[in-house]
């Protein structure tokens, strides 16, 4: 089993600890690839739109993005961990997600995403952990993923683990371990089920791409959809 982890900071703090608690269950059985942001995707998307219009390999940050994209595609499970920064995910995570906008369903989603599973772990000192999780889930679901598990918690005391009351530490650890146990029981040999919402999005985009292709058969996204067979009878959730 392969797990790809995206850490929204390089800090070995609470988020890191929470993510480690989750991964503990999988350490002996999984091949784990981790990315730390901003180190592994250090620049902002500048909005040139080259990825959409000319291909992702034209992005100035392709050397970073191709590694992340490959690891995400190959993973049986994606884990994304983030603290809340001003009520949202970190700027580094947002910058990485911006770079992967070309993987959103209206553009060129990876077929692998439709049958993949993901886990989102977020925390905040007092508030914002849920909106930080939503920032990440928006991308995961628009990449095509249906089976997304999530756990979020508030520290309500201190941002240093050893200063958090023991009772709170135990509650945090127990919630994360519960999720890890649940996820570890999944039969990863079986693909995740694509839900109705993902299929609805797919068919709406398919309609849009069919129209765009009539106007311009050379349009990159249309050509991709056509090559995948999605404009015809092929569906990414079917073998
Ligand atoms: C720039 C910045 C912004 C933050 N914004 C929030 C926030 O909006 N709400 C909140 O409850 N905590 C906020 N925090 C605290 C973090 O969510 C987190 O609890 C803290 O950084 C400890 O996590 P870490 O050890 O993984 O960095 C912020 C921290 C930083 C560094």
Residue 221 CA to its chain's centroid (Å): 21
Tokens 């249906």 correspond to what residue? 146
pLDDT reported for residue 239:
82
Residue among 237, 233, 208, 236 at smallest CA distance from 222 = 208
pLDDT reported for residue 13:
98
Instruction: Please list the pLDDT of the chain residue by residue as tens digits (239 residues).
Output: 999 999 999 999 999 999 999 999 999 999 999 999 999 999 999 999 999 999 999 999 999 999 999 999 999 999 999 999 999 999 999 999 999 999 999 999 999 999 999 999 999 999 999 999 999 999 999 999 999 999 999 999 999 999 999 999 999 999 999 999 999 999 999 999 999 999 999 999 999 999 999 999 999 999 999 999 999 999 999 98
Cα–Cα distance for residue pair 92/70, rounded to 1 Å = 19
Pick the CATH number of 2-194 from 3.40.50.360, 3.40.50.300, 3.40.50.1820, 3.20.20.70: 3.40.50.360
- 168: Cβ contacts below 8 Å, ≥ 6 apart: 155, 156, 157
CB 236 within 8 A of CB 223: no
- 98: Cβ contacts below 8 Å, ≥ 6 apart: 44, 45
Most informative mutation of 6, 22, 83 for ligand 1 (most atoms within 8 A of CB): 83
Cα–Cα distance for residue pair 22/19, rounded to 1 Å = 5
Domain spans in the chain, listed from the N-terminal domain onward: 2-194
Model confidence pTM above 0.85: yes
> Based on C-alpha coordinates, what's the Rg of the chain?
19
Residues in contact with ligand 1 (CB, 6 Å cut-off): 9, 11, 13-15, 83-87, 123-128, 155, 159
Strand partners, 127: none
pLDDT reported for residue 83:
98
C-alpha of residue 188 to centroid of ligand 1, in Å = 33
pLDDT reported for residue 3:
98
Cα–Cα distance for residue pair 33/214, rounded to 1 Å = 41
- 118: Cβ contacts below 8 Å, ≥ 6 apart: 77, 78, 79, 80, 140, 145, 147, 148, 149
CB 92 within 8 A of CB 37: yes
């Amino acid at each position: 089993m392969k797990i790809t982890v995206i850490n929204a900071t390089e800090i070995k703090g609470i988020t890191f600890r929470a993510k480690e608690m989750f991964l503990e269950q999988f350490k002996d059985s999984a091949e784990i690839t981790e990315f730390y942001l901003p180190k592994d995707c250090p620049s902002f998307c500048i909005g040139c739109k080259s990825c959409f219009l000319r291909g992702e390999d034209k992005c100035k940050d392709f050397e970073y993005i191709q590694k992340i994209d490959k690891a995400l595609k190959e993973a049986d499970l994606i884990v994304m961990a983030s603290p809340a920064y001003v009520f949202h995910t970190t700027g580094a995570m947002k910058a990485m997600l911006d770079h992967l906008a070309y993987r959103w369903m209206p553009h060129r989603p990876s077929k692998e995403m439709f049958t993949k599973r993901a886990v989102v772990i977020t925390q905040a000192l007092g508030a914002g952990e849920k909106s930080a999780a939503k920032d990440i889930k928006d991308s995961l679901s628009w990449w095509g993923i249906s089976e997304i598990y999530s756990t979020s918690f508030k520290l309500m005391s201190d941002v240093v683990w050893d200063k958090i009351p023991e009772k709170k530490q135990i509650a945090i650890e127990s919630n994360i371990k519960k999720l890890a146990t649940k996820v570890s029981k999944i039969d990863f040999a079986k693909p995740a089920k694509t839900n109705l919402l993902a299929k609805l999005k797919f068919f709406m985009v398919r309609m849009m791409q069919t129209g765009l292709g009539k106007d311009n058969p050379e349009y990159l996204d249309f050509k991709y959809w056509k090559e995948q067979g999605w404009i015809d009878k092929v569906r990414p959730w079917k073998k």
